Structure 1
Amino acid sequence: MKRVQFSRYGGPEEMSLAEYSLPALEPRRVRVRVKAAAINPLDWKIRRGVMKFVTGNRFPQGMGSDFAGIVDEVGTAVTDVRVGDEVFGTVEIKRQGAFAEVVDADARLVAPKPAALSFSEAACLPIPFATAWAAIVGAARAGSESRIFIHGCSGAVGSSAVQLAQACGAQVSGACGEASLASVELAGVRPAFTYPDKTSFAAYGPYDAVFDTLGTLDVAEGLAMLKSGGRFIDINPTPGRMLRGFISGRYRMVFATGGFRNLREIARLACEGKIHVSIGLEAPFTDALTVIRNAELGRRPAGRIVLIM
């Protein structure tokens, strides 16, 4: 079988499309023949070594997190997934490998793919929407009276957060790049600001929650934008920000893992049309190295990029 992998941490030049063999299937895992795999910035961040304190120094390591496909094999302790089921899901940071013909996944991180969703659409859901769920539904506790500000509202996680907040009935405003302003306004972000316009978006507050998807909003500035009891929510775990999270009850660091248990609910919302994904490119798996490299270097279309097996 073939997969995208790397034998040391580094840039795009470290990737290769290589033959690999999966280990013996563990009792609580499933084998999925991948039909589509969505590209996330996390994928190349892991290859660069940003998370090597988790991923370690055993090589080669596979690349890719989010996938959709058909179950090939199930472990002896798996009871709610069967061979032949169409599913979507993700893999743990320690066991990347969705950019592959077959992926080995924890059964708890896999959910049924609704017939109404294509494999490509389903593959785009896990990390962005699970992260947004942990932030908006979990940490922000968004509701009909909520005012939420999303810094980076045009990216994969940011746009997912906008949709989930709106599905909860919240009023959403946010900041993005100049080129994305029209599209986020069309998506219902009211008002939408550009990143340099800090004075204006701070003055439009206070907010029940400020969600920084980029890690570029100063924490003190974000906290100052909050109502009493509001929360500054972050997904960028630098040591300084992690320390701030321990000492401030109004600062919350969240991770996609906090939303993975809600994959079925996320799929339901997608089927109901309350959330959606925008796919900018579907590329054949044989072009994976070029497509990943281009995305990493910023040469990519608007919308998500999906590898088709």
Structure 2
Amino acid sequence: MKRVQYDRYGGPEEMYFGDYTPPPLERDQVRVKVKAVAINPLDWKLRRGAMKLIIGRAFPKGVGSDYAGTVEAVGEDVTNVHFGDDVFGTMDFKIAGAFAESIVVHSRYLTRKPERLSFSEAACLPIPATTAWAAIIDKAQVRSESRIFINGCSGAVGAFAVQLALARGAAVAGSCGKAAMPAAKATGVDPVFNYADSPSYREAGKFDAIFDTAGTMPVGEGISMLKRGGVFVDINPTPGRAIRGILSGRYKLAFATMGTEHLPEIAQLATEGVLRPNVGLEKPFSEALTAIADAESGFRGAGRLVLAL
């Protein structure tokens, strides 16, 4: 079978469709026939070598993390899904490779797909929703009457963060690009500000939490917008941002891996309509190389870019 892979770190030109045989199942693993995959910035960051000190230099390496499909086989110790179940999930980034016809993953990285969602919609959930969960629920501990500001409220992570915060009874303000402002306001973000007009949201009052999904808000600026005891949650740390934040004592990091254990709860919220994935564009798997390169170059549009198998 085929998968998208690469033989050395670099740009999109390093990707190709390669022959691939999934490894034998271990006791706690699941083999999934992939029906849809969603493209994430993580996919090209890994290929560029951003995590090469962790994932090493053994090639070829697969591309892709988030998928939805049907269970083809389960290991002896797997209890959360069964043969024939429709599922969605992600992969350990150290062995990425979801952009394939069939994959083998640890059972903790997937759960049953909500019936109300298509495979393409379900593939949009894993990394953005688990990241939003880690930030909003685990780190910011948003609850009823919390006031939160989400920088990047219209992006994949930001949109799920908005939905989670509103579901918990919080008041949500945020910023995004000018073109996305009406849609953000329609989802319940109020007030919503233009990214480019930072003075306006610095004067919007104090917040219990700032969630910077875009990595564009200076940490000091965010901390100045916090109430006493408030926290600044970041998912795009650089050494400078981390040092500045740690020194403040009000800085927290959130990563998708922190929320993976909550995939069943995320599936339930999607079933209830609380979490609503947005497929912006769907392309056939045969166009994966071009689609990934386009997304990497910024041609993504509104909603997620999904590849259907």
What amino acid maps onto 2:258 in structure 1?
Answer: G
Asked whether the 8 Å contact 1:36–1:307 carries over to 2, the reply is: yes
Identical aligned residues as a percent: 58
* Structure 2 CA distance for aligned equivalents of residues 120 and 287 of structure 1: 15
SS at match of 1:293: helix
- Name the residue aligned to 1:3: 3
* Structure 2 CA distance for aligned equivalents of residues 186 and 171 of structure 1: 14
- Name the residue aligned to 1:211: 211
The alpha carbon displacement at 1:281 in A equals 1.2
1:170 equivalenced with 2:159 (yes/no): no
* Structure 2 CA distance for aligned equivalents of residues 39 and 67 of structure 1: 9
User: CA 1:246/1:221 → structure 2, altered by over 3 Å: closer, same or farther?
Assistant: closer
- Name the residue aligned to 1:147: 147
The alpha carbon displacement at 1:273 in A equals 1.3
The list of structure 1 runs, each at least 4 consecutive aligned residues, that deviate by more than 6 angstroms after superposition, is: none
Q: Identify unmatched segments of 5+ residues in structure 2.
A: none
List per-residue Cα deviations over 1:172-227 (Å, max 9, x = no partner). 00111112111111111111111222221111120000000111111111111100
User: CA 1:180/1:69 → structure 2, altered by over 3 Å: closer, same or farther?
Assistant: same
- Name the residue aligned to 2:286: 286
The alpha carbon displacement at 1:244 in A equals 4.1
Asked whether the 8 Å contact 2:162–2:189 carries over to 1, the reply is: yes
- Name the residue aligned to 1:256: 256
- Name the residue aligned to 2:84: 84
The alignment's TM-score, normalised by the length of structure 2, stands at 0.97
List per-residue Cα deviations over 1:107-152 (Å, max 9, x = no partner). 0011011212111111111100100000001111111110000011
What amino acid maps onto 1:87 in structure 2?
Answer: V
SS at match of 2:223: helix
Q: Which moved more, 1:160-169 or 1:73-82?
A: 73-82
* Structure 2 CA distance for aligned equivalents of residues 24 and 232 of structure 1: 43
Q: How does 1:7-22 map to 2 (within 5 A)?
A: 7-22=7-22
- Name the residue aligned to 1:39: 39
1:188 equivalenced with 2:181 (yes/no): no
User: CA 1:248/1:106 → structure 2, altered by over 3 Å: closer, same or farther?
Assistant: farther
Q: Which moved more, 1:81-90 or 1:18-27?
A: 18-27
* Structure 2 CA distance for aligned equivalents of residues 244 and 72 of structure 1: 48
The alpha carbon displacement at 1:237 in A equals 2.6
Q: CA RMSD in A?
A: 1.2
List per-residue Cα deviations over 1:43-100 (Å, max 9, x = no partner). 1111111121222111110001011111112122222322111111000110101100
The alpha carbon displacement at 1:269 in A equals 1.1
The alpha carbon displacement at 1:249 in A equals 2.8
1:72 equivalenced with 2:107 (yes/no): no
SS at match of 2:276: coil
What amino acid maps onto 1:195 in structure 2?
Answer: Y
- Name the residue aligned to 1:121: 121
Asked whether the 8 Å contact 1:54–1:93 carries over to 2, the reply is: no
Asked whether the 8 Å contact 1:245–1:253 carries over to 2, the reply is: no
The alpha carbon displacement at 1:271 in A equals 1.4
* Structure 2 CA distance for aligned equivalents of residues 115 and 274 of structure 1: 14
Asked whether the 8 Å contact 1:47–1:63 carries over to 2, the reply is: yes
The number of residue pairs the alignment matches comes to: 309
SS at match of 1:163: helix
What amino acid maps onto 2:223 in structure 1?
Answer: L
- Name the residue aligned to 2:269: 269
User: CA 1:99/1:278 → structure 2, altered by over 3 Å: closer, same or farther?
Assistant: same
Asked whether the 8 Å contact 2:80–2:111 carries over to 1, the reply is: no
- Name the residue aligned to 2:104: 104
SS at match of 1:217: coil
The alignment's TM-score, normalised by the length of structure 1, stands at 0.97
What amino acid maps onto 2:121 in structure 1?
Answer: E
